[in-house]
A and B are shown apart, each in its own frame.
Chain A
Amino acid sequence: MTQVASFTIEHTRYLDLRGRPTQPLPAFAENRDVLIALYKAMVLTRTFDAKAVSLQRTGRLGTYASSLGQEAVPVGVAAAMRAEDVFLPSFREQGGQMLRGVRMVEILLYWGGDERGSDFTGPREDFPICVPVGTHAPHAVGVAHAFQLRGEARVAVCVFGDGATSRGDVYEAMNLAGVQRLPVVFVVNNNQWAISVPRARQTAAETLAQKAVAAGIPGIQVDGNDVIAVRQVVGTAIEQARAGEGPTLVEALTYRLSDHTTADDASRYRDDAEVSARWKEEPITRLRQHLSDGGQWTKTDEETLIGDCSAQVEAAASEYLATPPLPTTSMLDHLYATLPAALAEQRAEVEEATEP
């Protein structure tokens, strides 16, 4: 018997649970401003999530998927991207979308049931939220293929959850990306739970990163609650992809501290003790501790930031609540480039039925 193939999966972490470096930090992390920007983006995300949940609980927003405890993944990913790259999020990456210029009011509009929320004024080529799990992985490959065809030094970055890795779409996407050496980076936000199904019931594979092995692309694991590690590892993968060195799958290990969505009650299937234990690993305290240890963050800084974030989020919520309703006929007006004659009658019916 001869061994014909083997693999190893590397795990990267820079900060331990108490924010102390476990190894020399990457160059960007020596810059206080960069770290503070990451910290601010995570705090803003958490503040935004809390407001969105509160709007939902008071009947002013539809079902919402909080990213509580997972803020380092989307923030670290988006921070590693260039403006001209294209982001293809799942439905829990609002922190990354915001960093890329999607306005908070747009995210609220989307979850508030208004399609205008996906007509981003910021990153015009970024994809909207993808609800059917993992079905956007093929889109990322299409976008990356477009970049390759045009010879552009741009990268498509696609984030999906641990549950998505069980789907054929994700494998098919990675497989073609490998064959064509496409400029795409896949990031698994492994928050350990696909609604009520724990990671161990999702696959017998020891890591999700190794799902890359069968597709012939590199798979690496990162501490998804260490924003420095996420930014560094994803950033390296993005720059390799940009340089024509092909795709990577990054598995970011984190934990869903919230329910799946506001329509879910995780206490039906998950022990509170498990959640409490995981609070010790969450990304915001960890980075704050690191910044404070280095004398780069004071109590006053923290209070100022909390105030700023609240003000921004409240302003977005007010703008959202004051947004005039959609014209009812818009449900047909954007379906095709030009409304087919066959639909004119239905449009007239909508218009007549909803005339003030």
Chain B
Amino acid sequence: MSEITLVEAVRLALARAMEEDETVLLLGEDIGIDGGVFRATDGLIERFGERRVMDTPLSESLFAGLAVGLGAQGFRPVVEYQFMGFIYPAIDQVVNHAGRLRNRTRGRLTCPMVIRAPYGGGIHAPEHHSESMEALFAHIPGIRVVIPSSPAHAYGLLLAAIRDPDPVVFLEPKRIYRAPKEEIADDGVATPLDQCFTVREGRDVTLITWGAMIIETLAAAETLAAEGVEAEVIDVATLKPLDMATILSSVERTGRCAIIHEAPLSGGVGAEIAAGLANRGLVNLLAPVGRVAGYDTVMPLPRLEIYYMPTQERILRTVRRVLAYA
């Protein structure tokens, strides 16, 4: 067992899924001989052939619709979008078809497809390459929105997403594509969807996050630990449907909570979590829910990017305010 990166874990899961199920197909731009812009599909065309690893024309609206047709015919297409900034044409197909085909045909036709896309900032990429628009998808009925925060979760959650009988939007935090590394046994064991993961236990405050922000959040928890404050850290992992039970149970114990995400503050998934806490966990809250997020602005170009992204300092400032509230 060797240590691998998140993007390597994605490739390992894709290969595993293709190995075990002939109906799994990959579609996307430059995913064949080029291996994808982040090399997530590197070597897969050599291993599985052009029939199953298909370079498509530059038609972002088309591939999502193509996957709907393939899904209805019993295939399990996995579609790669090069960057989240190019995924928006697919929203038409996801809202109007993928998310509702099962419901509108009473299960006669279904759509077991996965849409993969790297997302998020912090790598000084060009314009339109750094956004975190997961909330757009989390609002859509009939789909799942899944975000891994580590190589092990990327492997297990992607396997689960591919095996799932319904459409999954799988967003990969590209800032942590190459580091940190983790040991992964390629055992084909999926990580369950629809549940949050407690990645650090603590009794004083609950920190809720997902994707690459797990790095800053865990770092903040370490800093707090040195000060004698034990933070519990929850990785949401499946943003839709949202496992509020795990979150409520943690906050019931800690009484204090901060939500951390890179996406813009307003209307973000953090707002849904905060609303869930207000609705069902208010009596356990000892302080207002803190939120640390991207600002409600256009993702800045690289020179101002670091001032947009939540940092450990910003997280600590909010958490200390939450802790100080009496």
**Interface residues in chain A, defined as those with a beta carbon under 8 Å from any beta carbon in chain B:** 115-116, 118-120, 124-125, 127-128, 132, 135-147, 149, 156, 168-169, 172-173, 175-176, 179, 330-331, 334-337, 340-343
Contact = CB atoms under 8 A, between A and B. Distances in A.
A335 B141 contact: yes
A140 B69 CA distance: 6
Give chain A's interface secondary structure class.
helix
25 contacts: A115-B105, A116-B106, A119-B105, A119-B107, A119-B108, A135-B96, A135-B97, A136-B65, A139-B69, A139-B72, A142-B68, A142-B73, A146-B70, A169-B61, A172-B61, A173-B62, A175-B57, A176-B57, A176-B66, A331-B103, A334-B106, A337-B165, A341-B241, A341-B243, A342-B241
Contacts of B165: 336-337
B96 A127 contact: no
Contact of A340 (B57, B61, B241): B241
B80 to A, nearest CB: 16
Given A172-B61, A175-B57, A335 B69 contact: no
Contacts of A147: 73
Residue of A142, A147, A173 contacting most chain B CB atoms (<10 Å)? A142
A172 B69 contact: no
A137 B97 CA distance: 12
Contacts of A125: 72-73, 109
A175 B66 CA distance: 12
A324 to B, nearest CB: 15
Given A118-B106, A119-B106, A119-B108, A142 B70 contact: yes
Contacts of B241: 340-343
A224 to B, nearest CB: 25
A176 B73 contact: no
Given A119-B108, A132-B92, A132-B96, A337 B65 contact: no
Given A138-B65, A145-B66, A172-B61, A334 B166 contact: no
Contact of B57 (A144, A146, A179): A179
B284 interface: no
Q: Give 7 closest A-B pairs by Cβ, nearest first.
A: A142-B69, A138-B65, A146-B73, A342-B241, A172-B62, A139-B69, A340-B241
Nearest to A148: B51
A146 B69 contact: yes
B103 A335 contact: yes
B96 A138 contact: no
Given A125-B72, A341-B241, A137 B105 contact: no
B96 to A, nearest CB: 5
B62 A176 contact: yes
B242 interface: yes
B214 interface: no
B266 interface: no
B310 interface: no
A128 B68 contact: no
